[in-house]
């Protein structure tokens, strides 16, 4: 088999792609040994072919202070420094290419919410200089910037919020609109002078979940040059209530974005593959205290769509995209090329 033929096989396309997971966290969460890989998270990520992932150092299920955010950053940098042969902290697009070249995984520091900065936008300068490259402006609830998607009355982007977007543009931080209320998200995207992203969400026209995005927001994000990272959460991509969706059901959400605004605006954000461990059960129970019923009755190992529910399924996603008729070039854009374009346009 010629090298050109190998490059167009599913395994070849996957191996030759820059693969970006738009949202992941809990790097310290154990995974049961499987497929000859032990329980070290880095080994599972490296075996998956993922080049880099956006590592959420805070998620504002409860508001976090600036001190807590900095301690979380300290902890996450410590994990990376403990395994320099397996990982590197990303501060530039070149670092992602270096991760690919050297067989390591890139860690892009990000947040889910910015309650930690309060009303003081100077704190963004601190976060930026400590390595935060992407910041989600709200989580599910209201903060000084605007409203989250669970707020019953979204009052939109505040003046502090406008200053936050402006400062993030100046610092070269990517504005993330996942978990953000509809009005707040639209106003933030329109206020931004740089591409914005939705790191992990589904499509509301295909599934009415509160975390999913509307056509208007898809159009507005695309107009900035941004990317919608589609998330394979079962509760967000299911077609029938409590019927475990498949990877094909998930790809329907990718296809929807592509058909609506073009191939350059679709990406992937998994938001934490889960395995049935003691740690995961405790984590889920705690999360549902602030978001009751979020998992929709799906057990730990069905949190994500069948066929794309664990790290070892990443090559299957590539194969499934190609099988659905995506070209090699378009598949590589979805896998990570589109996020790379945004990073290149925004990061300083």
What's the CA dihedral at 188, 20, 326, 211 to 10 degrees?
Answer: -40
Task: Please give the pLDDT value at position 97.
Answer: 98
Buried b (16+ CB within 10 A) or exposed e, 2-40: eeeeeeeebebbbeebbbbbbbbbbbebebeeeeebeee
The model's pTM: 0.96
Residues of the chain predicted below pLDDT 50 = 2-3
Task: Please give the pLDDT value at position 5.
Answer: 56
Report phi then psi at 200, rounded to 5: -160, 110
Task: Please give the pLDDT value at position 26.
Answer: 82
Angle at 187 between CA 181 and CA 192, to 5 degrees: 120
Task: Please give the pLDDT value at position 68.
Answer: 96
Q: Could you tell me the residue ranges of all domains in the chain?
A: 3-346
| Residue (of 107, 100, 57) closest to 83 by Cα position | 107
* Contact in structure between 155 and 145 (CB atoms under 8 Å): no
> How is residue 225 written in tokens?
């040059």
* Contact in structure between 99 and 51 (CB atoms under 8 Å): yes
Task: Please give the pLDDT value at position 259.
Answer: 98
Distance between CA 288 and CA 293 in Å, rounded? 6
Biggest distance spanned by C-alpha atoms of the chain = 60
Task: Please give the pLDDT value at position 49.
Answer: 97
Task: Please give the pLDDT value at position 340.
Answer: 98
Give the domain 3-346 fold.
TIM Barrel (3.20.20)
3-class SS at 85?
A: coil
């Amino acid at each position: 088999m010629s090298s050109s033929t190998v490059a167009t096989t599913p395994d070849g396309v996957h191996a030759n792609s820059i693969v970006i997971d738009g949202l992941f966290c809990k790097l310290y969460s154990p995974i049961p040994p499987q497929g000859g890989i032990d329980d070290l998270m880095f080994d599972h990520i490296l075996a998956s072919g993922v080049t880099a992932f956006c590592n959420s150092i805070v998620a504002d299920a409860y508001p976090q202070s600036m001190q807590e955010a900095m301690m979380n950053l300290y902890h996450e940098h410590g994990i990376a420094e403990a395994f320099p042969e397996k990982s590197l902290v990303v501060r530039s697009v070149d670092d992602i290419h270096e991760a690919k070249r050297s067989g390591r995984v890139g860690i892009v520091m990000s947040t889910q919410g910015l309650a930690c900065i309060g009303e003081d936008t100077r704190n963004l300068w601190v976060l930026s200089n400590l390595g935060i490259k992407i910041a989600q402006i709200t989580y599910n609830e209201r903060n000084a910037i605007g409203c989250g998607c669970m707020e019953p009355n979204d009052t939109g982007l505040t003046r502090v919020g406008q200053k936050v977007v402006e400062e993030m543009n100046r610092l070269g931080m990517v504005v993330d609109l996942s978990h953000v209320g509809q009005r707040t998200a639209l106003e933030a995207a329109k206020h931004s002078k740089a591409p914005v992203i939705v790191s992990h969400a589904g499509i509301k026209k295909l599934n009415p979940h509160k975390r999913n995005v509307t056509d208007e927001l898809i159009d507005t994000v695309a107009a900035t040059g941004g990317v919608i990272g589609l998330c394979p959460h079962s509760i967000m991509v299911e077609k029938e209530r409590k019927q475990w969706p498949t990877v094909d059901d998930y790809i329907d959400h990718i296809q929807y974005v592509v058909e609506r605004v073009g191939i350059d605006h679709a990406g992937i954000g998994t938001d934490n593959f889960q395995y049935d461990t003691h740690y995961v059960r405790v984590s889920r129970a705690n999360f549902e205290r602030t978001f009751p019923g979020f998992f929709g009755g799906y057990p730990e190992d069905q949190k994500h769509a069948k066929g794309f529910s664990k790290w070892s399924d990443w090559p299957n996603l590539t194969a499934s995209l190609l099988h659905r008729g995506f070209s090699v070039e378009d598949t590589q854009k979805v896998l990570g090329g589109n996020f790379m374009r945004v990073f290149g346009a925004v990061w300083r």
